[in-house]
Chains A and B, each alone.
Chain A
Amino acid sequence: MSTVLRAVGLGKTYGRRAALDDCTLDIPAGRVVGLVGPNGAGKSTLLNLAVGMLAPTSGTIEVLGGTPPEHLAKVGYVAQDTPTYAHLTVADHLALGEHLNPAWDADLARRRIERLGLDPRQRARKLSGGQRAQLALTLGIAKRPELLILDEPVASLDPLARREFLQDLMEAVAEQELSVILSSHLVSDLERVCDHLIVLVASRVRLAGDLDDIVSGHVRVSGPRDAGHPGELVTASHTDVQSTYVVRYDGPIADPTWNVGHLSLEDIVLAYMEQRREPAVRELESVR
């Protein structure tokens, strides 16, 4: 299977602060990839590196086999806060897309605008947040890219607009067979639409894999305090007599001292996000 994005040891620092650190990733083609992490984890940095808005300070990144922004025409990008030209009308935005993209699908763009009920003469300034996001998405889709990258496209939308936007995105993906990478700090946004997930915490990639594998590959086990645990530890919490671990383990657990619980995707992602606040993790890992 071909790769849409490959990063090796990718890093980006601002002054002395690392926004992204030693990121190694392989994103297969034909997937809808969710990039999740708390605010400030480096999601936007990674996506900006992928479209060439930023240049890496270390490591390499390849998108569709080229160094960004080499394949500008093949990569669609809906930036954070879905920027549009406030004083240009909806029709102007479509004309912009048409003039600036050789593969522009004017029919598709017009149909989408009609279906969304946007008035072509309306200035972008007067659109609601959801409508603006839809307009930005229309520009990204009608460009007919091979890879569509969306940076927190639904962050500023209300729950209804959020659902509509994601549904709409999925329809477009189904029609056009494109690869998608979208980021969010909410797992619930991604769970519905993604089949591949990357968890980014404190500028590092903590977890990357297909959604099903992730869900089936993590369990919560609890048992007597400090009796150790199977698999690879994600987080641990302790009471006086009992320890509870979230571990990466997909074999059967037969030991009757363990109480095994299933985890939802959100639980797993939250466990990885908690890691950074747990100073004891490293210690426990070395004991394992």
Chain B
Amino acid sequence: MIWLSWRQFRFPASVIVTAAGLLALALLAVGLPDEALNLFEAERTHIQVYTIATLAMLLLPAVIGMFWGAPLVARELEAGTHRLVWNQSVSRSRWLATKLALIGGAAALVAGALGLLLTWWAEAVHAAQVSGQEAQGIAGALRMEPIMFASRGIVPIGYALFAFALGVTAGTLIRRTVPAMAVTAAVFALVQFAVPPFVRAHLGPTTRTVTVTPENLGGFLIAGKGGPVVEMRVRTTEPGAWMIANETVAPPGQAGFPSFLTSCVRPDAKRMKPIADPACFQRLADLGYRQRVVFQPASRYWTLQAIELAGFTALAAGLFGLTAFWVRRRV
């Protein structure tokens, strides 16, 4: 059974493994970024390779699900070859189990190896971000931020297993390869976007209510030039955290911000940085205005990674079970 699984899998395997190998090679060839990396002035190649690798890691599970998962059962059903292979001396349960173990194992291995490689490689990028550097695009996104979270660490293993299982299940239920691939991609993308706000945000975040000071002020959103303040944000004291909510709590009976708030901050043309008036903010605090922040601190990065890895592995196991039932009873 292993022979046949490998014989059928070796082509799709070689395509994705080669692509993954090239990516790893690119990371290694460019070399680890300097520890004192300056994101803004960093070497272009480093930032480019980092961006490409991150995007590739976000796509990898979907690609595995579409090209390794979806055809696994669907192609047999489409070509009618299930009637050949399920009538050898190996039961179809064993046939499925062998394939799932072999290809699922390969998916976990590829995603895991690349995920950890990128984690190791991107350590300097992470350090630069935590030290307060800012940059455009992916290079400026914290690893705790919603979509970035899935691109490295150990969680790609879970995502890859889940996407693979999703593909196999879709292929088994739909019985056609191409529609199953489309469904896999769509459902996986949906899950990828839904998990941060609906799941990760609720996995024991830290909530704090603070008074706004010139030190922790993050910024205003002003309606028109010199108009009233619509929104105010603060910065967390903990660098690298994922800010989930950042909202102003007005005192009872008050709606919106007091009109004096607009003048609390004046632009300073010389220093290219606004100047905030401490007395002004004290007045705001005395009125009872507070800022409520909800965030996942950077220190919970690996805890959340482990939770999500476990969650997605369990989901994959559930889908494998459903597929096994369906293959045995319903096909």
Contacts and interface: CB of A to CB of B under 8 A. Distances in A.
A106 interface: no
A79 interface: yes
Contacts, number: 66
Contacts of A73: 89
Nearest to A151: B83
A79 B87 contact: yes
Interface stretch (A19-27, A83-91, A198-206, A280-288): A83-91
Given A55-B329, A88-B7, A92-B7, A100 B90 contact: yes
Contacts of A101: 88-89
A193 B85 CA distance: 27
Given A99-B3, A103-B89, A77 B83 contact: yes
A204 B90 CA distance: 32
Task: Please name the 7 residue pairs, one residue from A and one from B, whose CB atoms are nearest each other, closest first.
Answer: A100-B88, A79-B83, A73-B89, A83-B80, A77-B87, A99-B3, A101-B89
A30 B246 CA distance: 81
Interface string A71-97: 011011101110111101000100111
Given A55-B329, A99-B1, A100-B1, A83 B88 contact: no
19 contacts: A51-B87, A53-B86, A53-B87, A69-B91, A72-B89, A73-B89, A81-B80, A83-B80, A83-B81, A85-B84, A88-B7, A96-B3, A99-B1, A99-B4, A100-B1, A101-B88, A102-B89, A103-B89, A136-B84
A143 interface: yes
Contacts of A86: 79
A64 B2 CA distance: 29
Interface residues of B, number: 20
A75 B83 CA distance: 13
Given A85-B81, A96-B88, 20 more contacts: A51-B87, A53-B86, A53-B87, A72-B87, A72-B90, A77-B83, A80-B83, A83-B84, A84-B81, A84-B84, A85-B84, A86-B79, A96-B4, A96-B7, A96-B85, A99-B1, A100-B88, A101-B88, A103-B89, A139-B84
Interface string B68-106: 000000000001110111111111100000000000000
Interface of B: 1-4, 7-8, 79-81, 83-92, 329
A189 B3 CA distance: 37
Contacts of A69: 86-87, 91-92
A143 B87 CA distance: 10
Interface of A: 51, 53, 55, 69, 72-73, 75-77, 79-81, 83-86, 88, 92, 95-97, 99-103, 136, 139, 143
Given A73-B89, A143-B88, A143-B89, A100 B4 contact: yes
Contacts of A83: 79-81, 83-84
- Secondary structure at the B interface, as helix, strand, loop or mixed, is helix
Nearest to B87: A77
Contacts of B88: 72, 96-97, 100-101, 139, 143
B280 to A, nearest CB: 74
Nearest to B330: A55
Contacts of A95: 3, 7
Most buried by A among B86, B87, B90: B87
Contact of B89 (A79, A92, A100): A100
Contacts of B87: 51, 53, 69, 72, 75-77, 79
Contacts of A96: 3-4, 7, 85, 88
A114 to B, nearest CB: 22
A103 B79 CA distance: 27
A72 B1 CA distance: 15
Nearest to B11: A87
A81 B88 CA distance: 17
Contacts of B85: 96, 100
Contacts of A79: 80, 83-84, 87
Contacts of B91: 69, 72
A77 B8 CA distance: 22
Nearest to A76: B87
A80 to B, nearest CB: 8
Contacts of A55: 329
Most buried by A among B80, B83, B85, B92: B83
